[in-house]
Structure 1
Amino acid sequence: MEKTNVSFIEPVGEVSLHSSKWDLSRPLRKIQLMLESFFIKKGYILLLVGFLLGRALILAKLTPFCLPFFASVYLIKRDRAPLALIGLIVGAATISLSNAAFTFIVTILFLVIFRISQKWLTNEMRSLPFFTGIILGVGKLAETFILSRQVTVYDLMMVGVQASLAFILTLIFLQSIPLLTFNKRRQLLKTEEIVCLIIMLASILSGTIGWKVYDLSIEHIMSRYLVLVFSFIAGATVGSTVGVVTGLIFSLASVSSFYHMSLLAFSGVLGGLLKEGKKIGVSIGLFIATLLIGMYGEGGGSILQTVLETSAAVLLFLLTPQAFTSRLAKYIPGTPEYTAEQQKYMRKMRDVTAQRVSQFSGVFHALSKSFSQMEVLPDDDEHDREMDYFMSNVTERTCQTCFKKEQCWAKNFNTTYAFMEEIIHEMDQNDGNVSPRLSRDWEKHCSRSKKVYETIGQELTFFQANLKLKKQVRESRKLVADQLLGVSEVMDNFAKEIQRERENHHKQEEQIMEAIQEFGIHIEQVEIYSLEQGNVDIEMAIPFCNGRGECEKLIAPMLSDILGETVIVNKEECATYPNGFCHVTFRSSKAFTVETGVAHAAKDGGLVSGDSYSTIELGLGKYAIAISDGMGNGERAHYESNETLQLLQKILQSGIEEKTAIKSINSILSLRTTDEIFSTLDLAMIDLKNASAKFLKIGSTPSFIKRGKKVIKIQASNLPIGILQEFEVDVVSEQLKAGDLLIMMSDGVFEGPKHVENYDLWMKRKVQELETDDPQEVADLIMEDVIRSRSGLIDDDMTVTVAKIKHNTPKWASIPVYKKRA
């Protein structure tokens, strides 16, 4: 069902009104572009981030953020590294001038050492964390020694902690800085990138510790705002993660903020769970967490301040534009926006692929049209032109040096031309002979009559060979055109199949899962790909059933009742361990099935038969039965017949139409060898939806349909395959019914009975007298009767295939599901 989105369509009058007075999107968009240009393109966001990270502390004295941030910016956006350095030094100066001096010195030291070492580095990004950790550790060790003239074990431990943090923070900043500096990001975020981004944002916010506005803590407001945004976008899982990470970093920066981690984590969980209530629901979750943790954590004296901080964070959150949250949600896995972005990408790739396939189809169609163009000249003009060329070649070798040339061709042109045209015609029709009357008249007219006869005979040989070659070229051209057209149609159909989207069946999936689970069967997952009548396609994941056959015995019958048609198990992949899941595919059952039986024997009881047979169930709801009889007996005949069926199977499975497939096989076999090795082909295509059948017979014997006591003969006249390069395939159509027996045979069986004048009547009588309808028994009885009629001798390869058409009766009856279905 197609969905039409009309919610974005506004009346014309309203559009003009909005655009003139009330449309605020244009100035807001202009402001957004200006901010993006200033902060992201020009890189001033790195100045702001550097200032906050320069102020950030761990355990009230460690500053591990400065060098990792600068090193990461230097490697990723080298031209913006001075801005980051300025921000870091200014931020460090707000703590102390010595801290700013240390930040500047250790940064310069890093630049010198890293630039010198670049000559020997093969992977700068992989080695950068080691440089930052070692350089910061050595710098801190040197600072401690200069200030106190001694290094204690505690000092060494703190240096090791700071160097380790620098190593880890460098890895985090390398992942997260590109998210801040590139305004157009095409790739979707990975899970580790999201975690790195959260850690970096929390680290940046820790630089606001100590800032207050009207006694309201800025770090509390911004951290709660951060949790609100991520809970609203990605739900409870990401919201609680943001809360825990932010609270942990705050507690490392200031031990007094340890209780804040509980508040942020709890608010992230509640906000994510109330995400369905939009922004109001997420805000209510934060208020509930604030009241509960606030009363428990700090007593009643500061609850009012905590609530005011939460109110400020909620106000910021409510003022956040929807465009910002939607844009951020596109990059976070699990969100509807992320899924929509992935689907958009997949649709784009699908459309591009379908377009390319369609273009190839157009190319093949154009080539087919080019090959199928007929000659420009009409037949009469072409015949006159060929005759003129023929005459000129003959006269050049005979009349050009004759003394009567002037008399014959200047004065009696019409008479001479008519004589020679009649001679050519008679010699062409009578194997080089001319009638006595024409011979007498021509001898009276021409003084070199014998020379003319010899020359015309020689030229006639070349002329006939030339005509045959041109005919073969025309036939080959037509065959190639048909083959190219068949390929074009297959590719065109494939392009249309690519563009068919999987329909949205969420409601039906829930209904099926609920109905089956109420019956007492646990199902892990249901995916519906098609509910089209006769073409149902459903996949399920169910727990390991220990081989009890629940899918075939219970689930398929229940689906048959729910969908109102017979559904069977098409494919089942059982779990390999007890706690795993089985993956099952359910498809519509075909209306008819075909049961086959085969009997075959080689000449003189040999091991290798020149006959080959095949029963192929094609993926298009069709069943093919084919017999091929190679010329002669033995391995060469078997090779030819088997090759014919192998080619037929491959081409039919590709989707090419049957007549084109057989013509292609004929072309391949006729051009492959110069030996006169041919093979017959007897093909029956049965549609399992309605039991209609098409018979294509190439040099093969008749087939018979037994319907009760009635016997129907199926016959077509074509030469064996491989003899002619161009021939028309006769297609005989017949509507089969349930209970019919289709009997196909090679010539060794049909013409096998000895002392029989009319093979048709004999075979019809034998088929009519059959008292069994089992396909294998029928094949064996016919083969036995033919061999008995020859006193046990097998003079030729023999093959009989018998197919019985039956209604497809399901093995298990449908199980009614007593549930109200929408």
Structure 2
Amino acid sequence: MSQWDGTIHSAKMVESRQATSLQKNAFFKRFAKHLTRWLTSWEMMCLVIGILFGRAMILSNLTPFILPFFATIILLKPQRRFLAIVSLLVGAATFSGWQTLFSLLAIFVYSVLRIAVVRMSKKEEAKLLPYIVLAAGLISRLGFDVLRHGELIPSLELLALVEAGLSYLLCLIFLQSLPLLSAGVRKRSLKNEEIICFIILMASVLSGTIGWTFHGFAVDHILSRYLVLVLAYVGGAAIGSTVGVVVGLILSLANVVGLYQMSLLAFSGLLGGLLKEGKKWGVGLGLIIGTLLIGLYGQGYEQLFGTTMESVIAFVVFLLTPKAVFVKLSSFIPGTKEYQQQQQQYLRKVRDVTANRVEQFSSLFKELSSSFSHQSPTLNDGEEHQVDMFLSQVTEKSCQNCFKKESCWIKNFDHTYHYMNEIMKETQEEPTIQNAKLRREWNHHCIKPDKVVDIIHEQQQNFQEKIRFKKTMQESRKLVADQLMGVSQVMGDFAKEMQKERDTHQHQEEQILYKLQEIGLDVENVDIYNLEEGSVDIDMTIPVDYHGEAEKVIAPILSDILGESIVVKKQVEATIPNGYGQVTFGSAKAYVIETGVAHTAKGGGWISGDNYSTFELGGGKYALAISDGMGNGERAHVESYETLNLLSKVLKSGIDETVAIKSINSILSLRSTDEIFSTLDLVMVDLQNAHAKFLKIGSNPSFLKRGNKVRMIEAGNLPMGIIQDFEVDVVDEELKAGDILVMMSDGILEAPMHIGNTEIWIKRKISEMKTEDPQGIADVLLEEVIRASDGRIEDDMTIVVSRLQHHIPKWSAISTYSEHHGKIPKAQ
């Protein structure tokens, strides 16, 4: 038992030590987190920057940083004014007593001027701030010189004016750069002006470290070179050299002896930025090389070791800097990879928000459609209730005061109800009972048979109107539900398209640009938006296309590179001579349709009730349609024209064809009370796979000729506008290259009056034609029909003939294949 107790005690001790260790680790993590948050807080940065600005000087005795910093802090963080005063005075005290006295005087003069100017002026304080700093700086410096020297010295007056001017400029710079240190602003990207202002701010802060040393090495040299290393690594050669020039210039003004530092920092920043592909070691190598070269030129061999060691220390600190710091800085500088990722993330967020909103609208329309689709009991289910209500009204007017009411409706309810129900059916047209047996039984059953029959007949009209109204409401609800569902589907598809990621095709863009430039084509830019087969979308910036190089050379080369036929979709010429234009290349369709039309109006007139239309839809689809308005003349022409116009607009919006036709039918049926109908013959062909859909609404059959065989394609639907609720029959067909499709209005089939079977006659005429030209077929067929009707044109006639063919590019593909560069893959 003792050994067992000892084991348990040991286990508890181990658990206790582990728990204590976990608690310590958690404590240190919390402490490190709070310490990091405190060190990077606004108050700590304000304290450090204020101390350095308080002791920073340029040209031996000018301190232009105190007033701009204090004024900006009061404007941005009024509650931190005392922290700014304390930090500036502490920094000044580390330099000299006179510097402390001047700081107190400058802060006092500025505070008085600010109160007076802000109260007197109606302008915003931010606009007046630089001018207040200018006046306060000049007054305080002149007053300090009088206090120190007892008189105004002309040279000191000139320096006071220079210091006030620098304070004015620095105030403008600090107003842009100090807000960047706020956590609420750092999430956005920086403009070039803000980057420069931020660099000037950092250089000004570094000037406050002049005179500090670390084991004999100048702290300002180490920190300035570290700053150049960081920004050259993040922003490249342009940012690195700019930082070197600005920091070197400001440090040189503070210490004229170190003027060579500007050349060293600028050259090191340039070399480091150029060698950034070598990561941190490449940037550091640029600094060491720049230090050795400029160090020899500026100070000779005596000081070379010291300045080189300062660069080595800066490089070591640079290597120890966490990667997260560089990633965070890169996200603010345009042109960097992190900045582009941040922009893409922002655009993706905007896209997702928009897509979600569209999806919400799609769901709303879907719910509305479901609400309209949910019907109360249908007409047949509620017919018994309607009959009961009807008979109740009849009873109230005829049987209420009858002495046989109890006998009829209580003792013989079933018989009475049966008789009245049958009489209701018999008296729909006139107030008489045609059925002799029913009339005889009713006369025997009721003491007022004629009066009840008359009342039933009178109430029939209201009853039938209610039935028709309810039926119309149900049809309208169903139509609205279908339309809302169609809109919901379109918006849902649109949201899915928005949420598709835009593929990055940088590798393919570079390959295409290289191949085109390799053969001598001057192409400025290549942008690839889509590389999916059949949906290629490429934009190029090329010089003025005088000889059609885009169509004759670039498109055939792209056809060979991408492995499919590419054509010029759109071309925008240059607006200036010898300038650059924009060309859009896209996939050519696998099939093309050639169409011919022949038509004539009744009696050879000018206005035909028939109309036809051909138009392209999205997704590589092509539509052909004929509409025949009821009758002839202008009214029929307007009716058929509006039908086709509505059809094209609704189909181009992306709504399903059956929903589109039902919507148009509803519009036509509800728009007017006149009996104006129109037929519709619609064919939609997918030019990528030759799949066709036929929708025939009250129209004639179409004829499909393949080789020497001709067959009819037909579907039975009533003309548009007759009834609101109908089902659209869709006939699917797989077409082939060389197929000839003949569509016609009813005037063609009704014209040959002496021919027994017109459809067989039309099929024979089409099969016997030797020509395959669509326009020739249409003209010959119309002529044959007119001849068969003895030259009379009794109705409007329209024939639309289409021939499907393989797409043959105008220019063959040009091969660019070589041993080193083959085909470009569609996906990385």
Assess, with a 3 A threshold, how the Cα gap between structure 1 residues 769 and 251 changes in structure 2: closer, same or farther. Answer: same
Does structure 2 retain, via aligned residues, the 8 Å contact 1:351–1:499?
A: yes
Q: Which moved more, 1:637-646 or 1:292-301?
A: 637-646
Displacement of 1:122: 3.0
1:508: which partner in 2?
Answer: 508
Partners of 2:195 and 2:507 lie apart in 1 by: 32
TM-score (norm: length of structure 1) = 0.92
3-state SS, counterpart of residue 695 of structure 1 = strand
1:179: which partner in 2?
Answer: 180
Does structure 1 retain, via aligned residues, the 8 Å contact 2:433–2:439?
A: no
CA RMSD of aligned residues (A): 2.7
**1:59-138 paired onto structure 2 within 5 Å:** 59-119=59-119, 120-138=121-139
Q: Which moved more, 1:138-147 or 1:501-510?
A: 138-147
Partners of 2:245 and 2:794 lie apart in 1 by: 89
Displacement of 1:440: 2.5
**1:378-393 paired onto structure 2 within 5 Å:** 379=380, 382-393=382-393
Displacement of 1:230: 0.8
3-state SS, counterpart of residue 802 of structure 1 = strand
Assess, with a 3 A threshold, how the Cα gap between structure 1 residues 154 and 530 changes in structure 2: closer, same or farther. Answer: same
2:5: which partner in 1?
Answer: none
1:674: which partner in 2?
Answer: 673
Q: Which moved more, 1:504-513 or 1:563-572?
A: 504-513
Does structure 1 retain, via aligned residues, the 8 Å contact 2:431–2:454?
A: no
| Paired AA for residue 527 in structure 1 | D
Assess, with a 3 A threshold, how the Cα gap between structure 1 residues 432 and 513 changes in structure 2: closer, same or farther. Answer: farther
Partners of 1:588 and 1:157 lie apart in 2 by: 73
Partners of 1:33 and 1:510 lie apart in 2 by: 48
**1:569-718 paired onto structure 2 within 5 Å:** 569-578=568-577, 580-718=579-717
Displacement of 1:612: 2.5
Does structure 1 retain, via aligned residues, the 8 Å contact 2:365–2:485?
A: yes
Does structure 2 retain, via aligned residues, the 8 Å contact 1:198–1:242?
A: yes
3-state SS, counterpart of residue 41 of structure 2 = helix
Q: Which moved more, 1:222-231 or 1:84-93?
A: 84-93
Deviation by residue 1:102-126 (Cα, 9 ceiling, x = unmatched)? 3322322222222233243333222
| Paired AA for residue 469 in structure 2 | L
Q: Which moved more, 1:409-418 or 1:616-625?
A: 409-418
Does structure 1 retain, via aligned residues, the 8 Å contact 2:523–2:543?
A: no
Partners of 2:265 and 2:191 lie apart in 1 by: 24
| Paired AA for residue 265 in structure 1 | A
Partners of 1:430 and 1:518 lie apart in 2 by: 93
| Paired AA for residue 569 in structure 1 | V
Displacement of 1:500: 0.9
Deviation by residue 1:277-307 (Cα, 9 ceiling, x = unmatched)? 2222211111111111111221111100011
Partners of 1:66 and 1:770 lie apart in 2 by: 98
Partners of 1:751 and 1:110 lie apart in 2 by: 100
Displacement of 1:149: 7.1
3-state SS, counterpart of residue 728 of structure 1 = coil
Displacement of 1:164: 2.7
1:538: which partner in 2?
Answer: 538
Assess, with a 3 A threshold, how the Cα gap between structure 1 residues 519 and 144 changes in structure 2: closer, same or farther. Answer: same
Displacement of 1:147: 5.7
| Paired AA for residue 709 in structure 2 | K
Displacement of 1:624: 0.8
- Aligned residues: percent identity? 52
Deviation by residue 1:576-634 (Cα, 9 ceiling, x = unmatched)? 23454333322222111112223333444544433332211011111011122222334
1:303: which partner in 2?
Answer: 304
Displacement of 1:154: 5.1
1:349: which partner in 2?
Answer: 350
Displacement of 1:347: 2.0
Assess, with a 3 A threshold, how the Cα gap between structure 1 residues 82 and 440 changes in structure 2: closer, same or farther. Answer: same
Q: Which moved more, 1:385-394 or 1:602-611?
A: 602-611
- Which runs of 5 or more residues in structure 2 are unaligned? 1-17
1:798: which partner in 2?
Answer: 797
Does residue 807 of structure 1 match 2:809?
no
1:368: which partner in 2?
Answer: 369
Partners of 2:28 and 2:670 lie apart in 1 by: 74
**1:208-223 paired onto structure 2 within 5 Å:** 208-223=209-224
1:197: which partner in 2?
Answer: 198
Does structure 1 retain, via aligned residues, the 8 Å contact 2:430–2:457?
A: no
Does structure 1 retain, via aligned residues, the 8 Å contact 2:609–2:633?
A: yes
Assess, with a 3 A threshold, how the Cα gap between structure 1 residues 35 and 348 changes in structure 2: closer, same or farther. Answer: same
1:247: which partner in 2?
Answer: 248
| Paired AA for residue 110 in structure 1 | Y
| Paired AA for residue 175 in structure 2 | L
1:14: which partner in 2?
Answer: none
1:338: which partner in 2?
Answer: 339
Does structure 2 retain, via aligned residues, the 8 Å contact 1:423–1:434?
A: no
Partners of 2:54 and 2:394 lie apart in 1 by: 105
3-state SS, counterpart of residue 584 of structure 1 = strand
Q: Which moved more, 1:752-761 or 1:567-576?
A: 752-761
Assess, with a 3 A threshold, how the Cα gap between structure 1 residues 97 and 372 changes in structure 2: closer, same or farther. Answer: same
Assess, with a 3 A threshold, how the Cα gap between structure 1 residues 800 and 27 changes in structure 2: closer, same or farther. Answer: farther
Partners of 2:714 and 2:207 lie apart in 1 by: 90
Does residue 324 of structure 1 match 2:325?
yes
| Paired AA for residue 724 in structure 2 | Q
Partners of 1:613 and 1:28 lie apart in 2 by: 78
Partners of 1:337 and 1:122 lie apart in 2 by: 40
| Paired AA for residue 619 in structure 1 | G
Assess, with a 3 A threshold, how the Cα gap between structure 1 residues 160 and 434 changes in structure 2: closer, same or farther. Answer: farther
Deviation by residue 1:495-516 (Cα, 9 ceiling, x = unmatched)? 2111110123333333322233
Does structure 1 retain, via aligned residues, the 8 Å contact 2:431–2:453?
A: no
| Paired AA for residue 507 in structure 1 | H
Does structure 1 retain, via aligned residues, the 8 Å contact 2:544–2:579?
A: no
2:271: which partner in 1?
Answer: 270
3-state SS, counterpart of residue 118 of structure 1 = helix
Does structure 2 retain, via aligned residues, the 8 Å contact 1:36–1:183?
A: no
Assess, with a 3 A threshold, how the Cα gap between structure 1 residues 728 and 115 changes in structure 2: closer, same or farther. Answer: same
Does structure 2 retain, via aligned residues, the 8 Å contact 1:544–1:578?
A: no
3-state SS, counterpart of residue 771 of structure 2 = coil
Partners of 2:387 and 2:734 lie apart in 1 by: 52
3-state SS, counterpart of residue 401 of structure 1 = coil
Deviation by residue 1:439-478 (Cα, 9 ceiling, x = unmatched)? 2332232222221221221222222221111111111111
